[in-house]
Structure 1
């Protein structure tokens, strides 16, 4: 039986005030239900800030989580799932490999549909096992949390909040299929608000508007594959009829990792708080290793290159094309890459398994940023004023790149079709353009 609900508004307001100013009220006890992968990594800075303001946090994650690990700022509570961590890692690897397969459009659509269906079933099973874990759910009730901070991209967090009868604060970048607009009852006119994954700008002529409308009409069908099972699961657990829109409407506050410096104009609602760029607020001094790389670059400076946490390696032919392009510029290139080094790697290119991206982008000798256009990296590029060469791979990265190109902040290339010359010329363009 679901725990009894209570009025969330005063408590949520108090928690937000406390988060902004720890002298206003006492800190709260928060339950975090995140989404593994880049979603989790993008929120780590916020978790650290909440910890510094005295909040006690418990992070709920499956035993198979890849990126959600023990941390100094929170208590990690794991729950068993019917698959292994290796299965999740394999899914991430397949996703990374898939973006470099240049296949006919119809074949790509069918393969993407199957991949989404398989991965969604895997993730849904984790949520189902969490909610049917009576011992764990009872311990969460007894813990007497003040609120739930959840990423509704996967609606397990909202179900947990409703079960516990706690106010929910959603922390996210955006949701597909306009679910964020539905959840907040926010107007979303397709006549001028570009739909997700449409690649439309905010200056649409007739045909882009037609495309926008067609995407709008097809969204509910496309998203049913991923989201409809959560409505049925919520109805079972909460013992009442619950729709996905009900889950998305359950948040008291929406904290959005977006800002209109990147996004197009759109209607907003009073319970939306925009914190785009929050991940690049703090910078640390470079380690001796990276300081040495930067200092050795001389007057030409450095280029930072990362395709994010989801892509660990690139097919050899494409990696060699990229390596050839990087060797044609005078800058030192710091390339985050864990795959087999390309045999033609130039002397100016240094491969590293990890790099302090925001700290490097904030260095005055950084000349350009090659990025996959994930929102995390895009905001770090914006915050530090570094021009970007964008190689979007999947998901909202295509839209992010379109927005940045529209803003004049960089150049976009199709990673499958680009040549070595294309990448070299794009780098020279953004480095020499003084706008």
Structure 2
């Protein structure tokens, strides 16, 4: 839990970091997650570059959406799989889920499609196998790690190099957000996200909320199992998920508190709603004459006369 003396300090640091002219430029190590998660993180990365911060992006050579076109330093590392391997395993993972509607999540994660999850987490092992890159990170004196907590690699890097970390996420990932931030979330009062209950649950709904929470803990443990095994080998100590998710200094939640269930919020949890999507393009201009033609008789329909 964040000390009481830091209650107003962490939000102030973030405001100064994102406000031009009020803070000295920092040096951030960006460890993104591939796929759609990169779209919104990219917008923040571009803004930080524009405001004078020095950013270094660390990414695997094999990826779907990560790109090297940004105006920043990019450090890439080789992986044990090719793009064709990644695409094939993802298609197996997705097809098994959609083609078998009665398949539960546990079977989905523990079946043959678990190879995809191994690929997903194994890139962090490849990063630490690159001794030159590891030495570069150690000698570069980064101020913090900016990462997506769904991908454990950024959290592993922050813990390995004893760096503060700022995580950027849409919302709770399983129960790890509440545990990592020590944020109270009583099961009897706060529904789990996927159930769709209101914050005034009946007794039956509260019981089901508890059962779902227990299932969630089992599911999440299976989901991150291979990632934790890799983390344990890298850090050379047994690692639990709580140890990684309790390390971040600041949680940037790209949602709005009015969309969440009523519950306490820790000082290092900052809502930054409004950047959860790509910037929309302006609508095309339509002249008044166009609508006048639509409203005129005979346009798009036949004019009828009474008998």
Same fold (TM over 0.5): yes
Q: Are the counterparts in 1 of residues 90 and 116 from structure 2 also a CA contact under 8 Å?
A: no
Separation in 1, partners of 2:48, 2:240? 31
The yes-or-no answer on 1:137 pairing with 2:134 is: yes
Deviations along 1:350-388, one digit per CA (max 9) or x if unpaired, are: xxxxxxxxxxxxxxxxxxxxxxxxxxxxxxxxxxxxxxx
Aligned CA distance change for structure 1 residues 49 and 117 (closer, same or farther; 3 Å): same
Note the C-alpha offset of 1:30.
0.6
Query: 2:257 aligns to what SS in structure 1?
Result: coil
- Partner residue in 1 for 2:175: 178
Note the C-alpha offset of 1:65.
0.8
Aligned CA distance change for structure 1 residues 14 and 264 (closer, same or farther; 3 Å): closer
Instruction: Provide TM-score, normalisation by structure 1.
Output: 0.59
Higher mean displacement: 56-65 or 87-96: 87-96
Deviations along 1:142-161, one digit per CA (max 9) or x if unpaired, are: 22211101111121111101
Give the 5 Å matches for 1:24-43.
24-43=22-41
Q: Are the counterparts in 2 of residues 117 and 226 from structure 1 also a CA contact under 8 Å?
A: no
Separation in 2, partners of 1:255, 1:16? 9
- Partner residue in 1 for 2:228: 231
Query: 1:261 aligns to what SS in structure 2?
Result: helix
Query: 1:125 aligns to what SS in structure 2?
Result: helix
Q: Are the counterparts in 2 of residues 22 and 53 from structure 1 also a CA contact under 8 Å?
A: yes
Q: Are the counterparts in 2 of residues 33 and 61 from structure 1 also a CA contact under 8 Å?
A: yes
The yes-or-no answer on 1:84 pairing with 2:77 is: no
Separation in 2, partners of 1:107, 1:195? 18
The yes-or-no answer on 1:221 pairing with 2:234 is: no
The yes-or-no answer on 1:68 pairing with 2:66 is: yes
Note the C-alpha offset of 1:238.
2.5
Note the C-alpha offset of 1:265.
2.0
Note the C-alpha offset of 1:24.
1.5
Q: Are the counterparts in 2 of residues 117 and 225 from structure 1 also a CA contact under 8 Å?
A: no
- Partner residue in 1 for 2:191: 194
Separation in 1, partners of 2:39, 2:113? 21
Residue 52 of structure 1, aligned match among 50, 53, 57:
50
Note the C-alpha offset of 1:106.
4.1
Aligned CA distance change for structure 1 residues 242 and 208 (closer, same or farther; 3 Å): same
Number of corresponding residues: 286
Gaps of 5+ in 1: 1-8, 300-435
Structure with greater Cα Rg: 2
- Partner residue in 2 for 1:338: none
Query: 1:64 aligns to what SS in structure 2?
Result: coil
Gaps of 5+ in 2: 1-5, 292-307
Note the C-alpha offset of 1:167.
0.7
Query: 1:177 aligns to what SS in structure 2?
Result: coil
- Partner residue in 1 for 2:19: 21
Query: 1:174 aligns to what SS in structure 2?
Result: coil
Separation in 2, partners of 1:13, 1:260? 15
CA RMSD of aligned residues (A): 3.1
The yes-or-no answer on 1:259 pairing with 2:266 is: no
Aligned CA distance change for structure 1 residues 145 and 116 (closer, same or farther; 3 Å): farther
